[in-house]
Structure 1
Amino acid sequence: MTLREFARKVFHGQWPILLPGVILIVAFGLVIAGYWRRGALVLAIGVAVAAVLRLTLPEDRAGLLAVRSRIVDVATTASVSATILYIAWTIDPLGTS
């Protein structure tokens, strides 16, 4: 198996977890750069994307997003996303962007 075939197999099968993962990496990059409110907003969006993907994809395509039952996974990720979004919008920026 070549590296290209291996990468295609991995990315084709696990893209539902890789997409929110990339969004979370961008969010942490924003936080490290000092834009923590924007980073928290992007983090909330990444978790919401994971919730939507878990809700819409069938069990065999959800990959690593499928941990428990669909309703528990969606409820958990949606509530975490809403909590992060609330925190990002309500905490005083302390002079940051």
Structure 2
Amino acid sequence: MSRPPLYTRRPFLAGLLRQLPLLAVLLAVGVGLAMVALEHWRRGLLVVGLALVGAAGLRLVLPLRRVGFLAVRSRPVDVVLMGGTGVLLTALTLAVP
């Protein structure tokens, strides 16, 4: 006898688990912004840029049912916008003397 899926047994828990990728990205961005606030702006912006690149990677590889609120638009648009912004922010951070 098979068990019913988690989203029917415990919908709240299933909803929280679906948002784990977004939580990881927000946590990394929060750490980066805290570093900026503590006057380590270069490292902090580098962390934020890499978090955006990581978000684009998660959006690219995770299926729609697991990606949660990282899915805002279509997959190609999300990946290009988040990845492009992350790469641009990282490049600008490393280019500023």
Normalization by structure 1: what TM-score? 0.83
Unaligned runs of 5+ in 1: 93-97
The structure that is helix-richer by fraction is 2
The one-letter amino acid paired with 1:68 is: R
Q: 1:57 aligns with which of 52, 62, 71?
A: 62
Determine the C-alpha separation between the residues in 2 that align with 1:24 and 1:10. Answer: 22
The runs of at least 4 consecutive aligned structure 1 residues that moved more than 4 Å come to 5-10
Count of residues in Structure 1 that have an aligned counterpart in Structure 2: 88
Comparing 50-59 and 9-18, the one that deviates more = 9-18
Task: In structure 2, list runs of 5 or more residues that go unmatched.
Answer: 1-9
Residues 64-96 of structure 1: CA deviation (Å, up to 9, x unaligned): 01111100100001100011011110112xxxx
1:91 aligned to which of 83, 88, 96? 96
Give me the CA root mean square deviation. Answer: 1.7
**Percent same amino acid at aligned positions?**
33
User: C-alpha separation between the residues in 2 aligned to 1:24 and 1:65?
Assistant: 14
Residue of structure 2 in register with 1:27 after alignment: 32
- Equivalent positions of 1:2-41 (< 5 A) are 8-41=13-46
